[in-house]
Amino acid sequence: MIRKILIPTDGYGLEDHVIDCVGHIFPFAEFHVISVVNTYERGIILTDILYREMKESAVKAVREASSRLEEMGINSVRKTIAEGLPSKKIVDYAKLYDIDLIAMRVYSRKSTVSAYRLGSTVKNVLKKSRIPVLTLASPCDKKEIKKVLLLTDGMKKSKRAENFAILFSSIYSEKMEAVYLQSKELENQRTEKILKNVEWKAQFWNVRVEKNVVHSYQSLLERIKDNDMVIMGIGERTVWGCKIGHLAQFVATHSPAPVIFVHKMKERWSERTSGK
């Protein structure tokens, strides 16, 4: 399912935990490593000296990321240096090379006032990319997928994530937990219907589903701790890109497990789910 993975890197080693995570979980994938020389940074005069330093840093970044993957026994690594606005170049590259997953780190600031804020590049990639994006805020020891948590609200954006999660679970785990974050007691009947629908779809793929309802962000984090991967929708699309809600930002910055945000199913995945 996940055949090609794109890892953006800036050379500071801050995404090493992302490289380790996807390298262990998807060892047979083809990896693409990209570093973008940001020639669109506002307020910076791009002198020849600064440009050379940024270019050298990008070359070093892809070299070190590739070496880290190769140390894990992964030899199918493609290295690329690009120039321009990082988020746009990442999204364009993913589309051009038919990437299945973009893997990025987010800042982990759980104890600060900016705890829910995403970095500008990852935020813009999430808003613009139609390819699933995996985020990871801090190092984790996940080396295989035994259980997947699907966070759903039954809306259109979540339906795509549901289908992705079921297909993903059928390949990597065969066990899934469907979770609904319920804010009002009046939602009981709707919640039950949504979770039962997920269970019904999953049975055709031999995926066992555990259904749970949580009522707070903290309770959600407790459920995530029992899983190896989180899958959820990213938000409704507008002319400016996908909306990133408060919940999505919270999960991205606080989840102890990697999170895959799904906006759209790739054609070959949709064919598999509709043909089952």
The number of residues making up the chain comes to 276
**Residue 119: its pLDDT value, please?**
82
**For residue range 222-263, what is the model confidence (pLDDT) as tens digits?**
999 999 999 999 877 665 667 788 899 999 999 999 999 998
Single-letter code of the amino acid located at 124: N
The token pair at 38 is 């940001």
149 and 230 in contact (C-beta within 8 Å)? yes
Second-level CATH architecture of 4-105: 3-Layer(aba) Sandwich (3.40)
Whether 148-275 and 4-105 are alike in CATH topology: the answer is yes
Degrees, nearest 5: CA angle 263-264-265: 140
Most confident of 9-18, 86-95, 116-125: 86-95
- List the domain boundaries for the chain: 4-105, 148-275
pLDDT beyond 60 at 111: no
Provide the whole-model pTM.
0.91
- In 3D space, the residue among 117, 56, 129, 130 whose CA is nearest the CA of residue 87 turns out to be 129
160 and 263 in contact (C-beta within 8 Å)? yes
The residue that leads in pLDDT, 34 or 109, is 34
**Residue 113: its pLDDT value, please?**
43
**For residue range 192-206, what is the model confidence (pLDDT) as tens digits?**
999 999 999 999 999
Query: Which CATH number fits the domain 148-275, given the four candidates 3.10.310.30, 3.40.50.620, 3.90.1150.150, 3.40.50.150?
Result: 3.40.50.620
C-alpha pair distances (Å), 149 with each of 67, 72, 152, 178, 221: 31, 27, 10, 6, 11
- Cβ atoms within 10 Å, residue 17: 17
